[in-house]
Structure 1
């Protein structure tokens, strides 16, 4: 800290007062205590406070009683830390402030971005005014000086930075200036929090316990090891309810029910019929049980008669309490929160009232079955019941004083009326005698009913054992009685009578009671006497950490997989997802995967520290879905294994070191636009039982998977790339699926996914844009329609394909480019064609195709350049072999003009004879030769070929005979396929080994090497060749693409061709189809000739023709 800041701090002591009401009276800095909670009020004594949400965004909130607004309260609570500094004036303090809700420290970057100091306005993604800050800033300053009237400030270099609040926008205000004293800033004060209790609603309670997954704690205390603390052993969630006199009532008092989430099959539904719903366990006070000394009631988790509601109780509410172990109201609590020490009080709202023992005995008699009753027994049982009723009737104090035992007192007649002939035991014995005298029916069914009746009577007799007066009657009240089994004042449930309750008075709360040698969980009344005696511990907290709200975890920022490390779903209930990896893929309804997936961004998380902290508070954001993850206070569970608690979830972090973090297309099928354009694709099922079966169209245009005879190919049309994920760093592409007829998949509301009736057009439906999401592996994909939020699923029975909701099972598909073509694929280029025996294809003086080696005799011996050919595209269709024109340039001479020779299968000329009546196109015993013949391209499937007869003319040769499409309507001959060749793989096991195949498909269309002569024949024994690339030097020297003769130079420019060094020579310029566009004799060594844009062929007399590109 610099010296000038220390001097400023010495003046930062301001007096203030304390208050317990809602208004945040200013706190004197001298009264601040390390770790206490305060408000940052916007005015002196103000009731509007600076708040922060869970993400760290700023706002302002107005003071209230906070009931139902606990998140607003927590966001407005700041825990202060005092940072001492020794100055000449003594010890002064700066302060840091940690938000109770977010766990982030108030953090602002001490940086200006406008001249003179301050912040410029921000327009996007959210508009923020100039000199305002909307969210906590990571890595900023967290230590602030404070003076009332000057607010918070910090010194950096020669500048003082101040922050305040703008009540209208909820933002922090920011200012920076070169000053020597802190400027006035009256928009931020230290405010005292209220010590008034906040009555919690269910949402409030759940927000408070969220950080520790619903767990509660007693401060530094717990029950003895031999006891169970049901409160701290479970994870609780509050449910709102309203009650009046212990019954649900829409206009009743607010109460909370706390459930641990365990569920059971209900015994009966609301109409007392067979179970149709479930019952949850709730925290309740078990008034049915006291300890032997009657000092405490046990708290338990158990089901109740009817589930809590804020509506009126159903008509069967009372009836259900008859059969219940606990009245629903014994699970009703009020919960209050105390802001200053961040604790809560849980108080029971109702206590059950005891059922009079006489009432229970009366109900037992009434419940005796009538079906199967024995008349003789019934008579004496009714006499006995009359005596029992008389025993407790009002106004009989003189006959039955306190302590009178029913069995002994002789105050009854034989019929149970008032008299002196019989004791109560005599009446009981009369029943027993009658039972002994029963003659049971010989009919089994009747006898069974009689036996059931007798059993019920005996149960009634047993209940009367020990019947005595505990409170005598008077003229207006009946006596109170007890029996050996049923005690007066403790008879809360008998299974015969409706349960009743009363409000707890005096008020009690959940406590740990210290007994002589143990500590137990119970309820107790907190008074000054009991507090002094110290036998009740009542402070319940939402965390087991100390006073600080910051976490203790230290995690390296980076990319991780996250494992669910929560062993129990609730107390005693195992978490079935324990040990699995979290996955937020939109097509994974379980949201878990069994192992780390380096290809799946939805199973990867980016971990970063929150603003203003160096540990203990992190954001864990799903890489693929930035709306999923965790944030806030983070605490260590197991440091060695990277296990932490955040937002109440226990998670284990595993560094994702195997992820290609630079791959923006991770997780989805990505096909480059060029690959999508130049390839067709197979889409097959990845299921084992459907292996290799493709998506196909049925007769009604719907989809299914099947195994057709021929490979089914689709065109995938990609959409524009879309950014997504953390910081929009990832990219994905959707695809339209089209078949060979350009029908595409659409979604029909009635029939589901179908192929369109026609090509891409609005009238034929909107193409579905499928996202292909990697599932299970990086090469198996779920086809997901984000527009209709459905995915393609295959019927296991019928193999039909339907669109199902995202919670359905996944069916994966394999999407691949068409299998590697069976032929050589290349753009136009120069190549050498070499047989695997070392011979090269070449052209002899008679334009015959031969196989020779360098140095073999001709006029000047064959050299390297004689073996170079130009492959020009004939067909480049993905669904067929790639075919080429194999050509060679010929220089112009005095006798011959510059031209190109095209490789030609002479099959259509095998009968032709030369002047010597020989067959020049036949070699050996009938194999037609491979020749090279002058030609030029008119169109892709059409050549202009000079004839070989005496009356030379030019034939138009195409795929089939007919008339030309131009205005001349001249004849077109068939036979162009004799000029088209492909290089088909000779073996699946060898690379770059091909057969040369003519496309006329006559059964003898494979090139053979017969003693150095290339001729046509069947596939068997066809020559096997390698297609070799040509070096740049050789390519230049061929003369096919450039003129290298001394003094001659061709330069293509915009709309013209410049030729230098060729004065007096004839120049012919042709377009790519071979049509002349210029034919002239140059009169200058620097000539310019107009030419159309595109590729042209320039032939200079005496030189090889070259290609040039005119702009």
Structure 2
């Protein structure tokens, strides 16, 4: 292996702290020898070679000492920086210590807590503990300990974990499993993985913390981000070889396309730029060669490469000129980069180009520079032709009449014309009168003349058929010890004496080059370059201070690789399962997948953080954190550069963000539309085609969404998501995934367990959703805009968003139970006559029995509300005291199933006019939501029960006929009369027989088709009328129930139990009254008040 000879003498001087051992074994350190800030090992035995180590996350393990090559993270994890904490006592100053891990930046932190009787832990400690004790005492043979109260807590090592002891005592307890050990001062030869691990924290950047180039110069090492590539090369550099020496190639990641492949027969190779020493300069001494990033003849490899030598004929740089060894020094955290080979031949064309590039910028004369640049363009054109049709072999540059005045391809000028133009411009120079400036101009002209001299005899020697460049030579630059004319392979030799990357001070500038340093006093005119992986004074841990909390994270990495812009720069990270790009354009307060929780690592107050996605709880970034731009909250962590933006706009109390959330009650009380959010498909809904598959189409489809159980998730499990089954009420089908695609299946053909549950994941806005059948290894709905079909696609495919919302305008009137008036648009009010027939009259009608305001008031009682469209009601009215009827209320009723029975006495005729059955009222009471108790018209008959289905045997009433209708003949809705109508409704019976609309026929309310149905307004009543109905104040044998604002007042029920429930049957109060006049709080709306020993009554709380 090629090694830098400088190291043996320099170690003891500039780079090694005094007193450090040079062997692998960690010699024990007495506490009196400890220095503040010193690195040590925590070894498992006296003079041990097994060390306690911590990874970047804070997990403990042990590692055996070695030369550390290939194990740099293990080395850094085993290093602990000691902080001495002084304590003044009567006996003098004593010390306790804190230990900061070099890799993670975390303080050694253990909670002084036992979990077993007598003290101690039931299990060893496998990871650093946040919020633990970080200040420790040490006594040889007693490991680390802390005293708290009357207990001594001790930590030691056992396997890959810490032991924990707790003893009632006031002095250190014996524990011989942890010792303070010195660190090795031996240099670490880095492998590619080591180098990459060291530079990862700052995304591949290197820093010069001491000497550096002048501001006018470019430092290629600090201007790029580097990644090491391992290779093995023969000792003479003539080829790669599996048995060769291991070297490193440092690439900046910049790529070039269309290079020759290994067989040299096609332009299919992709090449990267590598750090190399540029020997392509007309300087036989080969001193002060520049370091640059460029392509090489053959990409680095660890085995022999085809056509290695031949490919160097047509390249500017031999691959070995990019081979380096890199060694790392623990004490000052720096590295030395040393070239392995020097190029011993130089291609002519690139030498000429380099001479032009090296012309001074100071003292340049514009008129001369212009024509020199034209000349250089002509030379480049001359030496980059690959067709004999342009320049045949033996063509002289001075004779080739192929150029324009600007050196471009043409036929007006010869090469000599271009040279003469430069000479003419030099003769016409008027030099500056300023002596200093004139000196610079003369120096510039001297370099130009040297360039002209180098062009003497420029001739094409060979036109290559598989090269991008013709082979040329000049009178001065020919095949020999220093140059190649392109006919022979480039050659290299091992660097001797050893050189390394240095800073060289020239007359008026500092440059980056390679040079020899044998000791701190023998630098051969070079300045030592202290190359580090951070620009901080200490690279232990990090220097970032970040407030813990919730943030958005922006990608602040400007380049994907050297010279290649990062297309995601400035975008926000998003870990949504349906976002394949992993980025969004702006902060999203509604999306927990685009929010991150930042927390400090255990045992640190800064510099080491964990950044977890709020929704997935994955630690996307973790470990050492450094400041890049303090003012803009830009940090480097885990090799990434990120910007943190406080998520102050997030509603921290809303656990349901990120997913569509519908409460159970809202799901029951609404039907929903699911429409495309795409502009070209706006408003189109999911429909079923003949094969039960799905497409998107015009129209409105209503769905019932049934939510699943709520699931907690996220970093703190403080988020909740819900999935839904999607039911199409129109044809009783469920939307399911079957055989890899989505389709509708009739409810009778699918088991409940097989019904697909869909997550509605928020994307782009807080009201557009992706519909997915899972969150992991699942699929989502994607629309073909061409065919409008819906398919199941993987979650990482493109997104199609949907809008999910309740039916935009209810198809019917929606209300809690309350008193109303029902007024036709002609001014008539619905009322009930003495024969319990529904009529339409006005106040004062019928002189003998004039109707007043209270006769027009009805009670709307909820008949059906779960998934109700339309919403249906029982329309009822209180029974007057004079009526000899046992039931308490009259219920509006469609008499269609009794209309075919004629009443002989014509007391209750069901037919009006030409066959229209009347709207009637009959006494009944609610037994259950879909069941009524309907008394007969005579005392001998029993009470009938009318349910949803008609009873097969029928039910007898006073007219001796069968009541065949079910409960739906008593249920009515108020459907909008038109889309544009405001509070204008048709009254619709729910029996759906085609003649279920209420008509006003000359003041008689009767049933008929939708055409010409009566249009009514549903009017609220005044508080005075509300009270006058008697429904709000209920007397029961001396007990009075009065509805009040925010509660119910109960008089005369002291000592009795009272239960109050809402209309859903949920108990809101259950108590025994201690007062004869008590007020109980209750929610707004209708409540049922049940008093011990009394009938239950309803009250309306305001």
Q: Under TM normalisation by the shorter chain, which class is it?
A: 0.7 to 0.9
Give the drift of 1:301. Answer: 0.8
What is the SS of the residue equivalent to 1:689? helix
Structure 1 match to 2:6: none
Judging changes above 3 Å, is the alpha-carbon distance between structure 1 residues 656 and 1097 closer, same or farther for their aligned structure 2 residues? closer
Give the drift of 1:228. Answer: 1.1
Question: Matches of 1:835 and 1:370 in 2, distance apart?
Answer: 99
Give the drift of 1:808. Answer: 3.0
Judging changes above 3 Å, is the alpha-carbon distance between structure 1 residues 748 and 501 closer, same or farther for their aligned structure 2 residues? farther
Structure 1 match to 2:695: 704
Structure 1 match to 2:766: 778
Question: Matches of 1:760 and 1:507 in 2, distance apart?
Answer: 85
Structure 1 match to 2:249: 257
CA contact (8 A) 1:530 1:536 kept: no
What is the SS of the residue equivalent to 1:93? strand
Post-superposition Cα deviations, 1:398-447, rounded to whole Å, max 9, x if no partner, equal xxxxxxxxxxxxxxxxxxxxxxxxxxxxxx99x999x99xxxxxxxxxxx
Structure 1 match to 2:781: 792
Structure 1 match to 2:69: 67
Question: Matches of 1:678 and 1:770 in 2, distance apart?
Answer: 20
Question: Matches of 1:689 and 1:714 in 2, distance apart?
Answer: 23
Question: Matches of 2:510 and 2:974 in 1, distance apart?
Answer: 91
Pairing 1:182–2:156 present: no
Aligned pairs for 1:70-109 within 5 A: 70-109=72-111
Structure 1 segments unaligned to the other structure (5+ residues) = 1-15, 122-128, 361-366, 382-427, 437-447, 452-460, 468-480, 1050-1060, 1062-1095
Give the drift of 1:842. Answer: 5.3
Q: 2:200 aligns with which of 210, 216, 241?
A: 210
Question: Matches of 1:369 and 1:915 in 2, distance apart?
Answer: 118
Pairing 1:546–2:537 present: yes
Q: 1:901 aligns with which of 887, 890, 911?
A: 890
Give the drift of 1:299. Answer: 1.0
Give the drift of 1:1008. Answer: 5.1
Give the drift of 1:1030. Answer: 9.9
Structure 2 match to 1:814: 803
Pairing 1:151–2:140 present: no
Question: Matches of 2:890 and 2:455 in 1, distance apart?
Answer: 121
Aligned pairs for 1:338-357 within 5 A: 338-354=329-345
Question: Matches of 2:601 and 2:390 in 1, distance apart?
Answer: 78
Give the drift of 1:1006. Answer: 3.2
Aligned pairs for 1:677-692 within 5 A: 679-692=670-683
Q: What's the RMSD between the two structures over aligned residues?
A: 5.2
Judging changes above 3 Å, is the alpha-carbon distance between structure 1 residues 49 and 975 closer, same or farther for their aligned structure 2 residues? closer
Question: Matches of 1:893 and 1:307 in 2, distance apart?
Answer: 108
Post-superposition Cα deviations, 1:617-657, rounded to whole Å, max 9, x if no partner, equal 32222212222432233333333332333333332222111
Pairing 1:932–2:934 present: no
Structure 2 segments unaligned to the other structure (5+ residues) = 1-17, 352-383, 402-410, 415-452, 460-472, 956-960, 1042-1052, 1054-1087
Judging changes above 3 Å, is the alpha-carbon distance between structure 1 residues 146 and 925 closer, same or farther for their aligned structure 2 residues? same
Question: Matches of 1:717 and 1:116 in 2, distance apart?
Answer: 54
Question: Matches of 1:31 and 1:1014 in 2, distance apart?
Answer: 107
Give the drift of 1:512. Answer: 2.0
CA contact (8 A) 2:334 2:533 kept: yes
CA contact (8 A) 1:756 1:764 kept: no
Structure 1 match to 2:370: none
Structure 1 match to 2:505: 514
Give the drift of 1:238. Answer: 1.4
Q: 1:652 aligns with which of 640, 643, 651?
A: 643
With structure 1 as the length reference, what TM-score do the two structures score?
A: 0.73
Pairing 1:1022–2:1015 present: yes
Pairing 1:625–2:616 present: yes
With structure 2 as the length reference, what TM-score do the two structures score?
A: 0.73
Structure 1 match to 2:277: 285
What is the SS of the residue equivalent to 1:210? helix
Structure 2 match to 1:561: 552
Q: 1:579 aligns with which of 556, 561, 570?
A: 570
Judging changes above 3 Å, is the alpha-carbon distance between structure 1 residues 690 and 58 closer, same or farther for their aligned structure 2 residues? same
Q: Which has the larger radius of gyration?
A: 1
Give the drift of 1:316. Answer: 3.3
Pairing 1:266–2:258 present: yes
Which stretch of structure 1 is more off in the superposition, 1013-1022 or 171-180?
Answer: 1013-1022
Judging changes above 3 Å, is the alpha-carbon distance between structure 1 residues 736 and 288 closer, same or farther for their aligned structure 2 residues? farther
Which stretch of structure 1 is more off in the superposition, 592-601 or 87-96?
Answer: 87-96
Question: Matches of 1:64 and 1:930 in 2, distance apart?
Answer: 99
What is the SS of the residue equivalent to 1:133? coil
CA contact (8 A) 2:988 2:996 kept: no
Post-superposition Cα deviations, 1:741-800, rounded to whole Å, max 9, x if no partner, equal 565555566xx4132665487899955543322111011112234353443322232222
Question: Matches of 1:249 and 1:856 in 2, distance apart?
Answer: 117
Post-superposition Cα deviations, 1:55-106, rounded to whole Å, max 9, x if no partner, equal 1122222222222222222211112222334444444332222111111111
Judging changes above 3 Å, is the alpha-carbon distance between structure 1 residues 34 and 761 closer, same or farther for their aligned structure 2 residues? farther
Question: Matches of 2:1029 and 2:710 in 1, distance apart?
Answer: 41
Question: Matches of 1:1031 and 1:498 in 2, distance apart?
Answer: 110
Question: Matches of 1:907 and 1:758 in 2, distance apart?
Answer: 32
Give the drift of 1:677. Answer: 5.2
Give the drift of 1:464. Answer: 9.1
What is the SS of the residue equivalent to 1:347? strand
Structure 2 match to 1:47: 49
Give the drift of 1:730. Answer: 1.9
Question: Matches of 2:622 and 2:949 in 1, distance apart?
Answer: 72
Aligned pairs for 1:1026-1105 within 5 A: 1026=1019, 1038=1031, 1044-1046=1036-1038
Give the drift of 1:948. Answer: 7.7
Judging changes above 3 Å, is the alpha-carbon distance between structure 1 residues 753 and 180 closer, same or farther for their aligned structure 2 residues? same
Give the drift of 1:857. Answer: 10
Question: Matches of 1:775 and 1:465 in 2, distance apart?
Answer: 70
CA contact (8 A) 2:577 2:776 kept: no
Judging changes above 3 Å, is the alpha-carbon distance between structure 1 residues 281 and 720 closer, same or farther for their aligned structure 2 residues? farther
Which stretch of structure 1 is more off in the superposition, 649-658 or 205-214?
Answer: 649-658
CA contact (8 A) 1:667 1:773 kept: yes
What is the SS of the residue equivalent to 2:201? helix
How many aligned positions are there?
A: 933
